[in-house]
A and B are shown apart, each in its own frame.
Chain A
């Protein structure tokens, strides 16, 4: 993984001191509330319902065991001994004290971490495929390019006061997109052109929130050396022309759709012509420098010779189910990537305790080259585990409550913190998650239902990505009461689509029952191994509507 050089370390160290001084000036009354607000947001610090919320950046979701251990330590020392992994591969602390934040940042800086630009109207943490580098689909590992974007975008002097927040995702291929690339302000796919060269396809204008849009293609093929100049051109057009009069119309998706993609492309390309050959151009040495941080691990060539794995699969039915649902194929024979489910029944989706963090860090040291990944579905991954180690790992995770074999099922839902923590939310998404978990508690039934992406947001800001759930649930407020609106047919993958509202919102106590009615239609109408989303696409909304409002 990427390792800081002197410049990187100096920047985070100087950032700690800068923020320490800003906090001091605010607490001393030298810095106004509005001015400090913008500054603290650019350091991931919100003031929430109960306490500040600090969002710590996990660049493209990759953590070392040392870093995860530090996160565990921080949650224990400065928070309530747990943290919340978000849909953008970051970690949120819900209970830090404002005056402690500079010290938290100093601890983070010791392990090459920070909270830079995890909020505010600037370029946010660049996200990526959680199986980058180990999956058979990708043309190339996207993470070197994520790191290049991370550096370019950090403290960018021109783009730190944008009209609105700005999110970039990079995926190693268009096929099997796990990075929700098409619902980002800029989405980037590694692609191959007819000449066989690998470069980037650049899309812009995707996003969720109040007005969801799927990103549109700005450039079909961009040579790698031009990555930063092209991004800079897009950002410069957006910074000058994005709306600033209305916060709800300020994202780049609104600009792209107001101008039309052709006009937008024309403006970007006109800007790019001026800067494409500037100092932003990346030479092959620079690209290689970043690629070298992400070369394959020293895999055991004999890993596939192990025979204990198949024996244990035969002997232990639960292990077999876990292996089937919570592990995936690795590009190296004899290895698998292991999902650590943070969706155990009764736990808020994405939450993890300090002890679990430290224990998983130890397991990563023991079994997976000391690295951990965070997925955008709010789970963790140990990406490089030998098949011969899987059973021992499974047992260790089981003791930690982290081996619930529900990855990809209805219970593996994406969920925002909701009313319980967030000052924007209308609805308690965490309580709803619990209600659903209790209703659908039979794992065999869940397995039979297959892959269903259930995504829930506590308000229209859509942090839980409900627009792109196969089934989306949105919390709405009706005269002070919580109601829940169902949406069907969304997808955040390469076949991205926006879910449609099924009908009037239902009362809180009816959420799980309504979900059951929807699922019953699916099990009744599905053909063969058809996934929920495919059945929906084939039969349309009507049968579901009739069942829900019968």
Chain B
């Protein structure tokens, strides 16, 4: 079954395989697959992961903070931030820090309990990819990026500060 996500405000086919994230799976033997590993897998199998042909992403959140990976960002083509509950807002700070402080320019993907009504804020914090939780209508969700046409504060999107 083909999986879709939202990337740069468009619905696209997703080819990344999650071995980390909500559930951990074994790292596949096919070395050409692009995979998103858990932080544990990254720590335990670093050499093996770096020697694969496929692209490498790592999943943080759920207890793994930005400080745990900030010195190794060059190894990753994608960082997934897991929301175990949409109300746990730590990931918003992680995304801003990745973009604004650590200069991470590649994909930052929100995964887990990711819902339409959080997309506007997430994008402002630097997320560019959204793996919506199963059951959410992606077409409808695209409208969320336009919930507001004006903004009150700078974030990862270079909005100006307060009016005046």
Contact = CB atoms under 8 A, between A and B. Distances in A.
A associates with B:
yes
Interface stretch (B15-23, B26-34, B68-76, B117-125): B117-125
Contacts of B148: 11, 14-15, 18, 155
A7 B125 CA distance: 20
B147 A158 contact: no
A157 B155 contact: yes
Contact of A280 (B94, B96, B147, B154): B154
Interface in B109-150: 115, 117-118, 120-122, 124-125, 147-150
Interface in B59-116: 65-66, 86-90, 92-94, 96, 101, 115
Given A157-B92, A160-B121, A239-B92, A279 B149 contact: no
B163 interface: yes
Nearest to B123: A157
B151 interface: yes
A8 B163 contact: yes
Interface string B47-66: 00000000000000000011
Given A280-B161, A289-B164, A158 B92 contact: yes
A161 B163 contact: no
B153 interface: yes
Contact of A236 (B93, B118, B154): B93
B35 to A, nearest CB: 27
A278 interface: yes
Contacts of B121: 155, 157-158, 160
A35 B120 contact: no
Nearest to B147: A18
Contacts of A286: 161-162, 164
A15 B160 CA distance: 20
A8 B152 CA distance: 9
A152 interface: yes
B88 A161 contact: yes
A478 interface: no
A7 B161 CA distance: 12
B89 A159 contact: yes
A38 B115 CA distance: 12
A121 interface: yes
Contact of A10 (B86, B149, B160): B149
A7 B163 contact: yes
Contact of B153 (A31, A156, A290): A156
B62 to A, nearest CB: 11
Interface string A154-168: 111111111100000
A462 to B, nearest CB: 23
Nearest to A39: B117
Contacts of B96: 158
Nearest to A238: B93
Contacts of B155: 157-158
B85 to A, nearest CB: 9
B86 to A, nearest CB: 7
Contact of A161 (B89, B120, B124, B161): B89
A162 B147 contact: no
A160 to B, nearest CB: 6
Contacts of B87: 38, 121, 161
A10 B150 contact: yes
Given A7-B150, A121-B89, 15 more contacts: A8-B163, A10-B150, A14-B148, A151-B152, A151-B163, A152-B152, A152-B162, A155-B152, A156-B152, A158-B93, A162-B89, A236-B93, A244-B88, A285-B164, A289-B164
Closest 5 CB pairs of A and B: A161-B89, A289-B164, A157-B124, A157-B121, A279-B154
27 contacts: A7-B152, A14-B147, A14-B148, A14-B149, A31-B117, A38-B87, A148-B162, A151-B153, A152-B161, A152-B162, A154-B152, A155-B148, A157-B153, A157-B155, A158-B92, A158-B93, A158-B155, A159-B92, A160-B92, A161-B87, A161-B118, A239-B90, A240-B65, A244-B90, A279-B160, A280-B154, A280-B161
